[in-house]
Structure 1
Amino acid sequence: MSQFLFQEEDESEIQVTTHLNSNEKVWNILIVDDEPAVHDVTRLVLRNSVILDRKLALHSAYSAQEAKVLLSSDIDFCMGFIDVVMESEHAGLDLINWIREDLKNSTIRLILRTGQAGNAPEESVISHYDIHDYKTKTELTQRKLTTCVYSSIRSYRDITTIAKSLDAFKKLIASSTSILKVDKISEFASAALTNLLSLMGLDSSSVYIVRHEIDLFNHIEETYLACSGKFGQIPDTIDNVNEEIRAKINSAFIEKNSEFTDQYFISFYKTSQDACAVLYIEFDSPPVGFQTNLAEIFSTNVALVLESLVRHQQSETNQRELMYILGDAIEARSKETGAHVKRTALLCHLIAEKLQMPTVFVDAITAAAPLHDIGKITVPERILHKPGKLDADEWEIMKQHAESGGAMLARSSLPIAQLGKTLARHHHENWDGSGYPDGLKGKDTPLEARIMAIVDVIDALGSKRSYKEPWSNDKILEFIKSESGIKFQPELVELAELYFDEIMEIRNQHPD
């Protein structure tokens, strides 16, 4: 112990140490040295230290092998004191290489300390080994040891903060590749919140992002876009939100201001002419170094991006609803009332999914399916409503609805309309080339139209029409199988047969 030059201190300045609570956050420090006295003295000096609001938890290893066991555990070490000479003259140096190269731990701060500097010259060690500092044991007086720990912990904190921010930013970038999908807003918001908390060093805090939109009738629609921490999942209704928190959020919307206390940070953002948002962060403990200006800048940009995503989602939702309304109107004109439009859309979704088509294709065909019979609006009602079989002239007029529907939708540049054009024009083409209007054969007919063809027939056969009664499930399946390779692509017939129960279940869930 004579190697350490500790000066006497006034005991009144030493803080009394209490036992560590199992839930209490601490800084884990590893001591690796084959001399028990070194462990004792280090503990004596650091026994009551509190650094950055955390106590220290010291862990001892008396060999490099013992150190490897501890380092491979779940303990998150912020720093380690490592002796050079233990089992061998370079055991400590070999351990450092193992930590960096094999364990891939680049964040732990490593202090090399040796009583035999000649075995590891300082200049050589610093240039060849990834260490934070190099000390001889005689250098580490009580004050210098404490200063070294402070410096290492601060360095570890900064490095981990940067690493967490980088990880959160990667998640943010990853989510941004698909943020235009309707179901990705919460994913983007969650990644944004994680990034914000990491930047602020608030890993244990909880956050809400709430949006208000005022409609044409001056009604306020409130939406919780994202939440994290103890708040759990996005609440289904505002009734599931703590009343006190809800009152603070509502006050922020009314007052249009920000507030920062030791308990929470809340800020208001105007995101568009008729919409605004509030960010609410609740701290688990008083924040250290919380920068309101950085939080404001970051949150403002997140709120604006989220507003753009919400608008995009609303646009897509409105388009889908209009497609259904238009499809229903067409079916109503032909007196084929009921849920045919809804069912065909869901059945197209099912078949496309079972074919393992990309999500963008599945979503698109589901949205465009209601447009497949838009051309029927050009067919005279006397033909649409005729209870019996159409004569040759009437049939020729009826067949024109496919070409007319395709021509109508071709005028629009909307992606859904363009896909709808294909469905409208080609859903009566047959696999063997005997269909209309173009007599396409096999895979010359686009896949989406081949899917629509079999879906349309299955649903139509099971529904009541002016010219027929609904068929039984067995009769429908029998007909579909008989038309394999004639009307329908054989692979699609096999798929329909394999998932026929699911198809019928969709029809049962949406009856006429």
Structure 2
Amino acid sequence: MTRMIFSDEPSLPSSKEPLVEPWHILIVDDEPSVHDVTRLTLNRLELFGHGIKLHSAFSAGEARTLLGSDTPFCVAFIDVVMETPHAGLELVEWIRNDSKNNAIRLILRTGQAGMAPESEVIRNYDINDYKSKTDLTAQGMATCVFNAVRGYKDITTIGSQLTAFRQLIDTSASLLKVDVLDDMANLALQGLLGILQLDSSALYLARRQESLFVEPVDTVISCGSAAQHRVVTGLAALPDAIRERIEQTFSDKSTVAGANDFIGHFVTGKDSAVVLLVEYTSDDSNFRAGLIELYASQLVLIFENLMRKNQLTTNQKELMYIVGDAIEARSLETGSHVKRVALICEFFAHQIHMPKEFIEAIKIAAPLHDIGKIVIPETILHKPGKFTPEEWAIMQTHSAAGAKILEKSNLPVAQLGARLARWHHENWDGSGYPDGLVGTAIPMEARIMAIADVFDALGSKRSYKEPWHNDAIMAFIVEQSGIKFDPDLVEVLRLHIDDLVELRNQIPD
């Protein structure tokens, strides 16, 4: 048979047309004329809005090379007899078993049916169709390709959906481990892109909490290609169009899935609700919108739990500061001291690489270190001069008294506060009070509090003294290394004195 040569259709569309990936079909046959006829029949075929691109392999070996490339082949026409009598069947085995490619539709073609009986081949090999070359008319071949491409499309769609659902589960599990809103924003967006198989998108999470006593409070997370990454209070910082849509959704309590975005209202508590707005590229199938709705139901609840947790932590800090301020005010000292001490303790704990939970807890509990002063008479607290031995003995009781107050609570922060209150006047050499602990027998949190308390107190004005110069503070603390203070913490202060001074200056009296 004379070989017919046909020029390929231009592979690039005109500049006015969008670039659409064609369906890639592989012809595997050692007869060139079969390739020519197949091209003549199928070259102009269009299926599901996509054209067709035909690729040729003249042996099973060439087919393996092509199938091992990045080209997403959807259909392969495979001749049974090529370089060997069973080359085509062996190629099928390789595709399914070695390459683990179960998506491509395989159509076996033979001109020698006796070499591979149809019933035996269909029973023993994972193929999708079996045709004699003489049976494939132009219409029959087009129908065959249509059915094969539709099957491939369905399989890959299901595969994408399964991948998306697995990603949804994995992302939700990862989000549950997040405890910082900034981290949540990044992970939420990356999870969204993975689930939707997108390169870019914009995400807005707006939470509104109602109150009987104050105006509603809005907290907004925004991130993505078209959204500035931020966590803010209030909607005012958002673009006008975005703010108006979110406000309208809070008002309507509606959920709308469109071809280019999704916006939904979710009730997350008796006093709170969340609006999620996601912008994405065109989604005519609405599959993305459905996935987002599933994702959103997890995301907004995680967001709500994180907000409640942060609020609880913030409330604890505020209450601790209020109590600390009250104690300091009773001592005629500035309430800023407890705020500075909290930051300084956090700094030391971070520098010596304490666990994150410890760092957060000592910052919250630090303002309670002098709570025991509530039992000390004001005549002693307000005395400008030196204490008598009897007065000093009374003053020393504030440590144990503070611990006794806080030990009544089972809250971890209160328990830590009790340890700070009791032992922050212990000295490294055992000369402190109330228990005379020595060296590492003093809990680390109390050692940190001891140096943080003295560093800030010496740098502050008191009724009985003027603030010390930073050089004098440094000299005193270094002198007391191994006597009053943990030498390792003194070294931290020596190395970071400028940072600590700057930290102290952030909250002036």
Q: Map 1:272-421 onto structure 2 (within 5 A).
A: 272-290=269-287, 299-337=296-334, 339-421=336-418
Is residue 472 of structure 2 the alignment partner of residue 462 of structure 1?
A: no
The residue that corresponds to 1:217 in the other structure is 213
**Larger deviation: 321-330 or 359-368?**
321-330
Residues 86, 193 of structure 1: alpha-carbon distance in 2 compared, 3 angstrom cutoff = same
Return the letter of the residue paired with 2:159.
Answer: I
The residue that corresponds to 2:150 in the other structure is 150
SS of equivalent residue, structure 1 residue 471:
coil
Partner Cα distance (1:166, 1:470) in 2: 61
**Larger deviation: 492-501 or 139-148?**
139-148
TM-score (norm 2): 0.79
Deviation at 1:286, TM superposition (A): 4.0
Residues 30, 374 of structure 1: alpha-carbon distance in 2 compared, 3 angstrom cutoff = farther
Partner Cα distance (2:430, 2:222) in 1: 52
Partner Cα distance (2:117, 2:492) in 1: 73
The residue that corresponds to 1:500 in the other structure is 497
Return the letter of the residue paired with 1:151.
Answer: G
Q: Map 1:46-445 onto structure 2 (within 5 A).
A: 47=43, 77=72, 79=74, 81=76, 109=104, 111=106, 138=133, 141-176=141-176, 178-179=177-178, 185-186=184-185, 189-190=188-189, 193=192, 198=196, 206-217=202-213, 219-225=215-221, 228=224, 230-231=226-227, 233-234=229-230, 236=232, 238-290=235-287, 299-337=296-334, 339-445=336-442
- In 2, are the aligned partners of 1:77 and 1:108 still within 8 Å (CA)? no
TM-score (norm 1): 0.79
The residue that corresponds to 2:8 in the other structure is none
The CA deviation string for residues 160-215 of structure 1, in whole angstroms up to 9 with x for no partner, is 33223313421321231x245666554675477568x54xx788664433222122
The residue that corresponds to 2:6 in the other structure is none
- In 1, are the aligned partners of 2:113 and 2:132 still within 8 Å (CA)? no
Equivalent residue in structure 1 for 2:473, among 476, 487, 491:
476
- In 2, are the aligned partners of 1:28 and 1:76 still within 8 Å (CA)? no
The CA deviation string for residues 421-456 of structure 1, in whole angstroms up to 9 with x for no partner, is 111111111112111111111222111111111111
- In 2, are the aligned partners of 1:169 and 1:191 still within 8 Å (CA)? no
Residues 60, 472 of structure 1: alpha-carbon distance in 2 compared, 3 angstrom cutoff = farther
Is residue 446 of structure 2 the alignment partner of residue 449 of structure 1?
A: yes
Residues 365, 161 of structure 1: alpha-carbon distance in 2 compared, 3 angstrom cutoff = same
Q: Which structure has the larger Rg?
A: 2
SS of equivalent residue, structure 2 residue 317:
helix
**Can you give the 5+ residue segments of structure 1 that lack an aligned partner in the other structure?**
4-15
Deviation at 1:235, TM superposition (A): 6.1
Partner Cα distance (2:17, 2:441) in 1: 68
The CA deviation string for residues 362-388 of structure 1, in whole angstroms up to 9 with x for no partner, is 111111111111112222222222222
Residues 253, 60 of structure 1: alpha-carbon distance in 2 compared, 3 angstrom cutoff = farther
The CA deviation string for residues 249-298 of structure 1, in whole angstroms up to 9 with x for no partner, is 22222222333444444332222222222233445224304497876566
- In 2, are the aligned partners of 1:185 and 1:310 still within 8 Å (CA)? no
Return the letter of the residue paired with 1:334.
Answer: S
Residues 76, 249 of structure 1: alpha-carbon distance in 2 compared, 3 angstrom cutoff = farther
Deviation at 1:224, TM superposition (A): 2.1
- In 2, are the aligned partners of 1:30 and 1:61 still within 8 Å (CA)? no
SS of equivalent residue, structure 1 residue 222:
strand
- In 2, are the aligned partners of 1:45 and 1:146 still within 8 Å (CA)? no
Deviation at 1:248, TM superposition (A): 2.7
The CA deviation string for residues 19-67 of structure 1, in whole angstroms up to 9 with x for no partner, is 5889745367474858677776666666556656555666777886897
The CA deviation string for residues 60-108 of structure 1, in whole angstroms up to 9 with x for no partner, is 7788689769956xx573647496999999799689869987xx98786
Partner Cα distance (2:107, 2:161) in 1: 24
SS of equivalent residue, structure 1 residue 369:
helix
- In 1, are the aligned partners of 2:92 and 2:127 still within 8 Å (CA)? no
The CA deviation string for residues 375-432 of structure 1, in whole angstroms up to 9 with x for no partner, is 1222222222222222211111111111111111111122211111111111111112
Q: CA RMSD in A?
A: 4.3
Number of residues of Structure 1 aligned to a counterpart in Structure 2:
493
SS of equivalent residue, structure 1 residue 238:
coil
SS of equivalent residue, structure 1 residue 486:
coil
The residue that corresponds to 1:10 in the other structure is none
SS of equivalent residue, structure 1 residue 277:
strand
Quote the sequence identity (%). Answer: 40
Partner Cα distance (1:430, 1:127) in 2: 85
SS of equivalent residue, structure 1 residue 467:
coil
Return the letter of the residue paired with 1:210.
Answer: A
**Larger deviation: 477-486 or 90-99?**
90-99
- In 2, are the aligned partners of 1:109 and 1:156 still within 8 Å (CA)? no
SS of equivalent residue, structure 1 residue 285:
coil
Is residue 488 of structure 2 the alignment partner of residue 491 of structure 1?
A: yes
